[in-house]
Chain A
Amino acid sequence: MNPLDPRIHEALDGEREASALPEELARAVRPLERAVALLAAHVPGPSLEGRVLAAIRAPAPRRGGRFVQWLVTPHSITFHVRPVWSVAFAAVVAVLTLFPTGHHGPDIGEREGIAQFVGRFPGARSVSVVGSFNDWRDGSIALEDIDHDGVWRATVVLPTGAYEYMFVVDGERFVPDHLADRLVADDFGRENSVVIVRPARR
């Protein structure tokens, strides 16, 4: 194990201005920052509140009693996803914030955010997303299916705001994102999905 330059530790410990680190040192620490960002993500699952309150309402258990046995029994949660269309279901996410430092993507301005578009389109030859963020111009935001598993994705930087959009499959078929929380009539007999892009920096 090679000791790190002490300036890195000082910066990470808040004893030195991180932005003043030389570029090579800042670069060296980026894998760590990415790892921390992953580890800092919310751990999904049901709230423990009901479980804890049920326990404290019950009489104090005898040591090793049945309550402990119940408490340590794992509980599972299942999410049901409703199918949409015969060949496609899709989801979109307006991603909302950004790590304060260390991102290795594009520089993102104060009035910009990140939108992720994800859809499952098995067998599609091409998928793109069109909407009020790109003048409904097909092809400017192409989704990719890098590992050929039928899940197409694009992650883009957009100005903050609310936008309507649809997916375009194989250059001709408009597919709404029915799993999006926000839908609005498009006045052409269909529904657009709505994405709200929040500032990446806060």
Chain B
Amino acid sequence: MIRLNTTLQFSIILCLLPLIMATVSYFWQPFDVTELNISNRLKPISLTHPLGTDHFGRDMLSMIMVGARTSIAVAFVAVGIGVLFGVPLGLFAATWRGSFIDDAVMRFNDLVFAFPSLVIAILITAIAGPSAFNAIIAIGVFNIPVFARVSRGAALSLWQREFILSARVSGKTGLRISIEHILPNLMHILIVQATIQFSLGILAEAGLSYVGLGAQPPTPSWGRMLADAQTMVSLTPRLAIVPGVAIIITVLGLNLLGDGLRDAFDPKLRGSIKK
């Protein structure tokens, strides 16, 4: 059912890079990231240190690899939260359209969307204590209304289709129809949305770590690497560029994956003049 186009292939490669790094880091790291080695500080790119070392003497490549773990884990679970809670909400809101449930879900969505997400995320992590876990909660909470809105919208338009009418004729209940008919047809939209939210999650985690509210030392995090690098950007730009590029590659890969998947699932391309 899916066609592999070039965007898809390219993006999968891009996405695999950080994923592989993160997985490998569980088994082997070139150097231990918790060890500070001041005498080794700020060494340029070499064979032993393919990305050089930072101001504490830690090997940049290892930092990136372990940092990948954090970013991916946080973003992934945050998306999971969004899907787990958001999709059923949206689905049920569409099933019982116009009812109390629908209104409640819409109000909830409006409410959450009105809040500035960054500020609230900072609020949550600052108050509950900075950690990767709280970052997950903070980001995840904002994913819920996104998935709720997307699933509700798509489900509503599916409900209008005649095959749903057919299912109702054969006596199936709303709940059953939602699960048997609507959900499978929502899958492709949800998958694309999930890749988008994943990439946003990576960016959000980086932002939170940058201000010190994500994973705490000694766990490396790409965002914090950037914060540390800020003061030295003119002397050793490498320190800032490396984690930035890591973030960009991951986010880019995910976005392209989303685009590629969207095109693959729906091969109808409209020209500017209709036939």
Do A and B bind?
A: no
